[in-house]
């Protein structure tokens, strides 16, 4: 089980990313717009730099929905390998079963 503080920090980052998502997109469009003046582009660059670091989606980390474990994460299920195995063995995950050949 991950520390509660780490799980809460990640939730806080997710909220921050959602809050600034539109603003980041607009600023990036301005920066990449070749028709915009150099001053506008530079202004947009400075505004983007002024945004909080946690507003960047790159800083998000995938964590298990049950334990908060950051490693061994399966995107399709939103679970770590340990919890996925446990749930599959209990039959809680439809369409998944233990391999045998």
Residue 91 main-chain phi, psi, to 5 deg: 85, 20
Tell me which CATH code domain 62-95 carries.
4.10.830.10
Q: Please, are residues 12 and 2 in contact by the beta-carbon 8 Å criterion? A: no
Cβ atoms of 20 and 54 closer than 8 Å: no
Question: Do 97 and 81 form a contact (C-beta atoms < 8 A)?
Answer: no
pLDDT tens, N- to C-terminus, the chain (101 residues) = 889 999 999 999 999 999 999 999 999 999 999 999 999 999 999 999 999 999 999 999 999 999 999 999 999 999 999 999 999 999 999 999 888 98
Q: How far apart are CA 61 and CA 72, in angstroms?
A: 12
**How many CA atoms are closer than 13 Å to the CA of 43, on its beta-carbon side?**
7
Domain ranges of the chain: 1-61, 62-95
From residue 42, give the alpha-carbon distance in Å to each of 7, 25, 30, 36. Answer: 36, 16, 9, 10
| CATH number of this structure's domain 1-61 | 1.10.287.1480
Strand ranges (E), the chain: 73-74, 79-80
Does the pTM surpass 0.85? The reply is no
């Amino acid at each position: 089980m991950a520390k509660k503080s780490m799980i809460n920090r990640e939730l806080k980052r997710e909220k921050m990313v959602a809050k600034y998502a539109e603003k980041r997109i607009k600023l990036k469009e301005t920066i990449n717009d070749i028709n915009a003046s150099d001053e506008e582009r530079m202004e947009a660059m400075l505004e983007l730099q002024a945004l909080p670091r946690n507003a960047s989606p790159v800083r998000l980390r995938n964590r298990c929905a049950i334990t908060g474990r950051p490693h061994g994460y399966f995107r399709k299920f939103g679970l770590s390998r340990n919890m996925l195995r446990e749930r599959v063995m209990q039959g809680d995950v439809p369409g998944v079963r233990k391999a045998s050949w």
